[in-house]
Structure 1
Amino acid sequence: MSLPSLVDLPTVLLPCASRAGTALQEQAERLASWPAARREALARVGALSDFVSEQIVRDPLAFLELADSGELERPLRPGELREQMNAALADCDDEAELGRRLRRYRNRQQLRIVWRDLSRQADLNETCCDLSDLADASIDLAYHWLYERHAAQFGTPIGRRSRQPQHLVVLGMGKLGAHELNLSSDIDLIFGYPEGGETEGVKRPLDNQEFFTRLGQRLIKALDAITVDGFVFRVDMRLRPYGSSGPLVFSFNALEQYYQDQGRDWERYAMIKARVVGGDQVAGKQLLEMLRPFVYRRYLDFSAVEALRAMKLLIQQEVRRKGMANNIKLGAGGIREVEFIAQAFQLIHGGRDLSLQQRPLLKVLQTLEGQGYLPPAVVDELRDGYRFLRYVEHALQAIADRQTQMLPDNDLDRARVACIMGFAGWDAFLAQLMHWRGRIDWHFRQVIADPDEEEGSGDGGCVGAEWLPLWQEALDEEAACRQLADAGFSEPSIAWRRLSDLRNGPQVRAIQRLGRERLDAFVPRLLAQAVEHDNPDLVLERVLPLVEAVARRSAYLVLLSENPGALQRLLALCAASPWIAEQIARFPLLLDELLNEGRLFKPPQAPELAAELRERLTRIPEDDLEQQMEALRHFKLAHSLRVAASEIAGTLPLMKVSDYLTWLAEAILDQVLGLAWRQTVSKFGTPKRSDGSLCDPDFVIVGYGKVGGLELGHGSDLDLVFIHDGDPQAETDGAKPIDGAQFFIRLGQRIIHLLTTQTTSGQLYEVDMRLRPSGASGLLVSSLGAFERYQRNEAWTWEHQALIRARVLVGSARVGAAFEQVRAAVLGQPRDLDKLRAEVSEMRAKMRDNLGSKATAAGTAPNAFDAEAPFDLKQDAGGIVDIEFMVQYAALAWSHQYPQLLRWTDNIRILDELGEAGLLPEEDARLLQEVYKAYRSAAHRLALQKQPGVVSGDQFHAERRAVMRLWRAMELS
């Protein structure tokens, strides 16, 4: 929000404008030397703020000193405020004097900050940061001053386990924690210390708990006590465990135990913004890491919405009870509602999306937009409305340095607020304020409101209320089946039995009361949406296993209850694909993907995929292998679901589906190689090239088969070969050196481990390494030279066929280019065509015998085209493998004359090249392309239905006959 400059002072404020100037009459000469802008600002700011006028009246010389320093017209540089306060306390040796100096410095800075805010020389960010820096410096410098003297009196606290000196950790909560303090904010603090023990160095030692309790009391007094000089900051300790009735300080173990066992939802909300503001910063960081799992759950936590909704209800009741509708923080459309919106997303998604684990609200809103949680237009309104409200809050508090968010009820202060905000009068200001409050409240209700309020029946009942008696067994079986039949279930007795089995099953019987309440609220919703589908029996059959799987993790049920659109998409996808239903039942975290319809049906392009995964992994500590592996698996599951959903919805054609799945594999392999390389190098050092320089990494992962040919399907494994170009004999440069050959084998093993290890989120991919030189009996990793020698001298024709579909997926660009040269040289050799045809035909015949449909002699028997006969889309005559073998034969036969045949690794583009070169009639090339795509499309659909790639023999007659005709034309039969 860009605020206008101050308008001329209204008449009602003119008498206030002279007060500060009157106090400075004796300094008329000094005032005359001031710039005109400062003299004008003195009148304006004095008229707008009683606090400023009173400070000038109390100590005009201190004000003039501040003005002469130039600090009224410039921002402080980073760290300057702390330097000044440190200097102010430098020779202080008395606790009462500490309090005086802290207060006098606070008053000086508060005057400067209010002046710059009201004269609009400082924006919202500067004002909040200066106030927060002032609090940080006050807390930390006062603490260290007091600690030194406290320890001299009572001894140095020593940890019982570590035997190290202990310091207090002061956590700043709320706006202080987020660096967002307002002009007259109190500070919410929690005190902790690392471990129990007792003090040393005195005759009568104190327990650490007692030591830090007394120290905490002295610190609070130094900051909070009101004296003739005022106060530094009002201190609020009620956010600590057990509130006002609990101990003042807690050991780290006690804090962790409390939040683990008794922490409440509002305490999670408060802890989001916790920051170390004083004491031991290193130990404080460890404490926040200990408490992070309490705040951010590893799973999607939609129960947070329920908690925030309950908190909001309590606030609304308090607002009504105390008549605080004009409170711009707590009232409808106030500051708290913007905070609730942001923190709802943080609590729900922050455990998995680390970008949301930050404190400042405006940065959280920016992340919500950038990560697609909220549309840009919504974020713009929330951001502008929030900034407007914060400026209003500062205007209210600047008047008298009073902690208030209530709109004034007198004409003088109303005129001040309107003037500060740049409006000609109160009515114009109020209209703008109500506009922003209305927009914020509307957005708040979209996020936090109970879906039953929006979608319930006209009598106020919840969605699906008509199904509640059936679910809770208030109906007998006959009546229940009648209701199911009337609603459209074709087999109501089976549906009833499925529901009964769920209700009475061990998973549901074992859940606690809250989980059962959530299940009872969810199942009626499920039934209400299921009957909207053409086949509710199928929907129920596929979705109930998911319900059973998550019954004890009922936050997922809350997610679906809170998001009717997500439930709708879940049922539609499960009805369309049992594969999707099984994936979500196995990995319920995928429910997150259903929340954003636009994102679900629009998977990102290759560069965005790679960038998104890179960004996710950079937020995870390098030594946290478990979290890295989980992040990789969740990324793969989520994007695989998005591709499948897009395929079902018709927004992605077959070729694009394979492209996306291949891009996904490449993005994952790139990060896996990076992780494996760093881990292996950290253990053994870096391997060397033959010239003695270090490898970086001189290693590539080559993809064969479907991944090499950009034809990955749902659930495809990866055919991989590992190749390096380091010196096999040279030792690595680490503390535990091994030779290069061993290093690259360890690297390959690490890659396979990262890809195939089963975690709670499954494995990334099944990996098949049998296409490497010498197959399963060969080395796991080949040097580039050994790979070339093998391909030239020992490889079978079928291995050269496989090499046609081989390409470098990730790794060293230099080694990748060298691999392409080897591939081109090997495949581009002149060949004896009769021998080549014989070998290709022989291999194809073996495959048909072993893998084709037995009932039809792999599609060659007379009954192969009967409706009762099976047709294996891949292996039977006229199927996918016949097309692949024709393409591979053509590439091997003619690439020495037509090297463009080796440019691509996918069959579609190789067929393009064959047609353009005249090696295959263009109509035949197009025919093979269309048939190939038709077969693969059918195979994809069957995979999503969890069915093998086999159709009835009365399908694809024309296609099969055309492929068989062209096979014979190439003399491959």
Structure 2
Amino acid sequence: MQTTAGRLARLGFADGARAERLLDELGPEAVGDLDLLSSLVAAADPDLALTSLNRLAEQDPSVLGALRADPGLRERLIGVFGVSAALGDHVVRHPDHWRLLGGSAAVERPTQGELRAELLLAVGAEPDEPEPRAADASTATLSALRAAYRGRLLHLAARDVTGVVSLSGVTAELSDLAGAALEAGLAIARSEHPEAGAVRLAVIGMGKCGARELNYISDVDVIFVAEPREGADDSLDEHAAIKLATRLAQGMMRACSTSTPEGALWEVDAALRPEGKAGPLVRTLASHLAYYRRWAKTWEFQALLKARPVAGDAELGQQYVAAMNEMVWQAATRDRFVEDVQAMRRRVEAHVRSGEADRQLKLGPGGLRDIEFAVQLLQLVHGRLDPLLRRRATLPALGALSRGGYVGRDDAKALAEAYTFLRQVEHLIQLHRLRRTHVVPEGNADLRRLGRSLGMTADPVGEFTTRWRRHAMEARRLHEKLFYRPLLQAVARLPESEDRLSTAAAKARLEALGYADPGGALRHISALTSGVSRRAAIQRTLLPVMLGWFADAPDPDAGLLGFRQVSDKLGSTPWYLRLLRDETAVASRLARMLGTSRYVTGLLMNAPEAVAMLGSDTELAPRPVETLLSEARTVVARHPGDAEGAVAAVRALRRRELLRTAVADLSGIIGIEEVGQTLSNLNDVTIQAALDAAIDKVEMERRTPLGTRFAVIAMGRLGGIESSYGSDADVMFVHSPLEGVPERQATETAFEVANELRRLLALPAPDPPLLIDPGLRPEGKAGPLVRTLASYAAYYERWSSPWESQALLRARFSAGDAELGVGLLHLADPLRYPEEGISDAAVLEIRRLKARMEAERLPRGADPALHTKLGPGGLSDVEWVAQLIQLRHAGARPALRTTRTLEALSAAVTEGLLSEADEAVLAEAWRFASRIRDAIVAVRGRASDAIPVDARERTLIARALGYPPEGTEDFVDDYRRATRRARRVVERVFYED
């Protein structure tokens, strides 16, 4: 036979034995009261409800009889007790407050005036006075305010949990209640300042309070505006009036936030005021207007969408709101509107605590802020011309957007449902302990209470979790739903006419999202989505999301254009659109790359199949040079007798690897030194493959073996393993006749090979060229293109100059006959690593050459401070410091024998020739300048050594380097700072003995 405890557990109590004991303590009538038991079982948390009821009955046993006599009271009181432990505690502390939930008044909504009067009376103030004053500012008065406030909170919660009042009714009443509390707090502040009548002070509600959509527990955002009272006997000048108003505002804030035996109400937050917490707490109306006209950012006007007078001088408050509204609805025309919008979006995402994102109702993915932010942005974009959109609260604004055709009806309905559900859950979480939280709990007991509160009884935990995730997912598709889908409707022949925007509205929305040419963007969207083909249908699925990713990229217009071009090339390929649709990482990275880099876009245009590698960081990792060399040789072998075809295939391989490297670079997967090494390795492989093809062709045309060994020596940045995207390949050619072959014949053959190599790599092709520059050979352009090893030895022994010794510091074998190449390097060692170091005269010559280079080679009109190669503290400065140290000391210190700049600097520190601090400064400047040079190529698609003057190009380069949209000046300032510090080191280390 089942026990009573067992039956109670089966009915829904978590602890049947404890429930049996608590029911027994209520007395025999309660034990047999099936209606009471039924109400307890129906509560969200029967155990919690019974516990609070038991505690209340100890304080006031009459409550049990009242519950039997008034079914409505029983439903409301137990309903609240089952949801809120905090309100249960409140009723136990104030046993008379349960009576607020009985009779017909328990279901009536109080007016704004009634709430104001009740809280003013609670602090001893007369509601009918123009500026009521509290009896005093004592702890007793503050406690009375809190008790009265929570009594009203209890009254509202009872109607909320029993379904008598809607969500909008709950939030509006909470906002009115907060306004009444602020008014009572102001009355308390006036009681501390007898002269308070000499100033007019208006309290402007902001955020959810201003919009009348406040939570149960929330900071209350406010702004204060004040004026001297004209005609008052003790009238003050403006300065004195603001001082007095500030004291009143501070007193009001203390009255609400100070902790008492009854706790605190909530924090009054004035951080949305001009200049934030750094600005004055109170300003005059004229001061507010001056600030907003000159200094305010877009987000501040977005905040003012919600502004509403809530306490204090109502007339002054209305004047403030009317004045602000004139500016709010022009915010979308501001110069930095798009940048400010992007900053707002990042600010929302940045406030999510680590580990909470998946459970955050407010700030997490698919959270309330997603919906609120998008609705407000649409209001700012379209409300300038459509006054019907000028609503404070989210749901009314969403409804107006739907009626105006800016949001589809089904979309608006789905979002309203998601918003309502999320807000209800937020309220239930906050009611439990009356704590400010937006995080869904993890425990099953808490989830069960939430599910049952929302009417889910069969499987409250599972059903709640499913509904919550579904609504969050719906909200996460916010930018597709609210921004991008209607753009497609504006240009494509789609049936959902209610989603259709006018062309003008679509252009306005695109412009607000950052598209500089909205008309062009609409043409691209139309070209991609129009028609009934499967390709167009998939694009209509993809584009809403892609448009949002393009908007987040530095150049949305370039991103969309590039996407159209790549799609035109690959759109009929079955895997392409399917890959983008099914692999979010690929589509997201593709959008970011197309909207960041013309260089990447150009590579993709000619290697569109490489899109497949974008989804994986592993796929983007640099490939081993041995693997590339093997693949290149295989490619050349497939084109016997066709040197042009072989090199074209090798250049296609190079194009793919350039794309891999650029995407890895821009994605932060590899750093600048790894970029340099990867590009240098790729250039070596390309030269080797082209050399193989050139030798095959020369041998075929001569119908005889080459008759000489041939090697390519890398020089300059290629030799230093520091190639950039725009680098030429500085090289020298050396050959060595085979035994029995006349030197003249061998030299002619080697000359043909060198010229054929240069020709093959310079042929027009749809990829970045690899130009072979042999200008660093002996005698420069006037000297022979190719020399024998013996000729090099003779020249260097007799004619070598300091600049050639310096150039040879970067000499490295690149391609061809390795033994011959190493032989030339051994030949160069005495010149570049002299045993006793270079002479003082040679040092002076190198310094003279450096000064001449700075004076003559800098382009006319260029700003030296922004020239990454030749400017003060730039690449040349750092590299010449490293090379002078090597020329002086590498003969005696083998650790300095490297072709790489940063390795040479590091070795100089190890050898005690350079301080660690100086090395750090020089290395930072070198890396920064190298990154900028590569970023310029990535963004513009062509090489340049100078940071551009054009502000837009600077912004794009800054974004490619990882700076935020507003960080362009930071980027330039950081570079100037790094190079100034480096130049000081250069002047000390390079020029001083």
Q: Per residue, is there more helix in 1 or in 2?
A: 2
Q: TM class by shorter-chain length?
A: 0.3 to 0.5
Bigger radius of gyration: 2
State the TM-score, normalized to the length of structure 2.
0.44
